[in-house]
Amino acid sequence: MSSSSAAPTAKPPMRDALVAAAFRLFLERGYEQTTVDDIVALAGVGRRSFFRYFPSKEDVVFPDHEGCLADMTAFLASGAPECEPVRRVCDAARLVLRMYAENPTFSVQRYRLTKQVPGLRAYELSVVWRYERALAEYLRGRYAGRPDGTLRADVVAAAVVAAHNNALRSWLRSQGRSDAEETVDHALGYVQAAFGARPAGPAGPAPGEAGPAALFGGPVEHPDDVVVLVSRRDAPLWRVVQEIETAFGRA
């Protein structure tokens, strides 16, 4: 009656109604105190239909993660072989955070739930694990030739996910009031510094927080296998590390 043909948006059918009903009840009386029967009763649909749209009760809490994961893997698969690998996976992480930041209230509500329901925490871990595996697989491909390629890929992927989660949780605790992009940029910049790549930025020499140029002149080679580096004391560490790697020929 109320919704038959004059729906403005074309494609939000029963699925969204189930998500809405579920979150109303979860926030009212808690996740574990809400049964699937309660949800389908409020949504006015059959119980069987719930499990047609969501393989489990936990899935209704993360209704868009499957698509988000697909977007991220598509982003990684979409060429750009000239881009430095660590930076590429950091951009992928930024993509994920942007999806969270699109719906701040929803993300904060879900954060409250997952924080206090152990079952949901476990489920979220399995979701995050799939993101991490996608990043690691990409890096394994990029590091295919290197000696410890898979090790480096796994470690970098884990570090990126950890930095992303650190920033995300910080942003969620602020109720979505802080700047999500800025927070995650800072966190990912730390990872990029640790692994010897430039932090994000429009490919310029000084990417935002970098400040003054790190080195006065390039490294000078001595005849007896010695490298001399001269650096300002307040130069950002990642910049120095990068120059060292260049001098050592380990880009």
Partner DNA sequence: ACAGCGTATGGCACTCAGTGTCAGTCGTAA
Partner DNA sequence: TTACGACTGACACTGAGTGCCATACGCTGT
Which residue of 7, 211, 227, 246 would you call a contact of its own copies, by CB under 8 A? 227
Number of residues that bind DNA (CB under 7 A): 18
Q: Which two tokens stand for residue 181?
A: 């992009």
Please check whether residue 84 is in contact with residue 195, taking contact to mean a CB–CB distance below 8 angstroms: no
Q: Which is nearer to its own copies, 122 or 206 (CB)?
A: 122
Please check whether residue 132 is in contact with residue 157, taking contact to mean a CB–CB distance below 8 angstroms: yes
Q: Which is nearer to its own copies, 1 or 226 (CB)?
A: 226
Length of the chain: 251
What's the rounded Cα separation, in Å, for the pair 16 and 186?
35
CB of 168 vs DNA, minimal distance in Å = 25
Q: Does 150 bind its own copies (CB under 8 A)?
A: yes
CB of 20 vs its own copies, minimal distance in Å = 26
Which residue of 21, 60, 93, 187 would you call a contact of its own copies, by CB under 8 A? 187
Stretch that binds its own copies, among 67-75, 83-91, 160-168, 197-205 (CB under 8 A): 160-168
Q: Does 162 bind its own copies (CB under 8 A)?
A: yes
Stretch that binds DNA, among 31-39, 109-117, 174-182, 183-191 (CB under 7 A): 31-39
Please check whether residue 187 is in contact with residue 163, taking contact to mean a CB–CB distance below 8 angstroms: yes
**b/e 181-198 (16+ beta carbons within 10 angstroms → b):** eebbbbbbbbbbbbbbbb
In terms of Cβ atoms closer than 10 Å to its own Cβ (0-12, 13-18, 19+), residue 241 is: middle
Q: Does 152 bind its own copies (CB under 8 A)?
A: yes
Which residue of 47, 112, 146, 169 would you call a contact of DNA, by CB under 7 A? 47
CB of 89 vs its own copies, minimal distance in Å = 13
| Sequence-separated (6 or more) residues with CB below 8 Å from residue 237 | 193
Please check whether residue 47 is in contact with residue 18, taking contact to mean a CB–CB distance below 8 angstroms: no
Q: Does 55 bind DNA (CB under 7 A)?
A: yes
SS3 assignment, position 198: coil
Q: Does 122 bind its own copies (CB under 8 A)?
A: yes
CB of 10 vs DNA, minimal distance in Å = 12
Reference 76, options 141, 7, 172, 169; nearest CA is 141
Q: Which residues bind its own copies (CB under 8 A)?
A: 121-123, 125-126, 129, 148, 150-152, 154-155, 157-159, 161-163, 165-166, 186-187, 190-191, 194-195, 216, 225-234, 237, 240-241, 244-245, 247-248, 250
